[in-house]
Amino acid sequence: MPLSDALLQDIQDARAHSMPTLRATAPALEALLYTPFPCLDHGFVRVVDYMGDDDAVVQSARVSYGRGTKASRTDRGLIRYLMRHRHTTPFEMCELKLHVKLPIFVARQWIRHRTANVNEISARYSVLDREFYLPRPEDIATQSKDNKQGRGEALSPEQTEDVLAALREDAERAFSRYEGLLEEQSLARELARIGLPLSAYTQWYWKVDLHNLLHFLSLRLDPHAQLEIRVYAEAIAQAVKAWVPLSWEAFEDYRLGGVALSAQGLDVVRRLLRGEAVGQEQSGLAPREWRELMDLLERDETNP
């Protein structure tokens, strides 16, 4: 993923210029500040600013809880309590600002998370670079037969080569037309852009509090999320882990690694622990929810 000379210079200038501060800082994140995490073939994520740390979460919670909390709980224990019981407002005291370069189709998924501040590059004012996303050969697959939003089996090498050639040809043609309309026809940029493909890259600044960022990550790190946006989520996760390690540990344990059960699902677990034989018909669960619960418990649903 080559970076433009202008961006490289901006990063170098930003990292060379430091300012004394009295506010809390996260040394591990300071070491990563401004540095891009490569994503896909031309994209990146980089942290350009942040506010707060794990101490800010604890401080906010103790304002709510009043005196005595410090003596009864460690900071780690309090953060885990907050995460476990979904007391979310203390996590809103921390904020992260990212500079992201991403394909337009990924941006359209990303913008569904509406609890953030976003400012995107405008192709009405700027001419977009001739950059577009092409998936890796190993990521090209058929439509899944049982998941309307997912991928199925891998294509043959010959089919994969044909798909990549078609995607590249269409994108190259669209960009050639775009550049021709701008240069030869002097067409307004706001009109010339409308024929560009969803694979074209856009950029934005995205600022979000920690609570809503963790919600974003809980959805976009999930194996069912589209691979391309998951790549960005994995890059952001590296920064969050460096920024708020105690909050990240609790998030991994209670959100990424934990599960929520319905009342009926919890009842099934209790009955199984008592040694009862429980089948889907007696569980009160729909067939799909029953299968998911059995998969979660690593039980053979045909021989519960």
Instruction: Specify the DSSP class assigned to residue 91.
Output: G
Q: What are phi and psi for residue 43, nearest 5 degrees?
A: -95, 175
Residue 220 is among the residues annotated as catalytic for this protein: yes
Residues 6+ apart with CB under 8 A from 269: 261, 293, 297
The secondary structure element, H or E, covering residue 153 is strand 151-154
| 93 three-state secondary structure | helix
Helix axes 210-220, 227-243, angle to 10 degrees: 140
How many Cβ atoms are within 10 Å of 12's Cβ, its own excluded? 11
Q: Which residue has the tokens 């706001």?
A: 190
Quick one: which of 125, 71, 72, 133 has its CA closest to 102? 133
- The whole-angstrom distance between residue 213's C-alpha and the CA centroid of its chain comes to 8
The secondary structure element, H or E, covering residue 76 is helix 75-84
| 136 three-state secondary structure | coil
Q: Two tokens at 169?
A: 């040809």
Task: Give me the catalytic one of 220, 270, 288, 291.
Answer: 220
**Whole-angstrom distance, CA of residue 106 vs CA of residue 42:** 13
Catalytic residues: 220
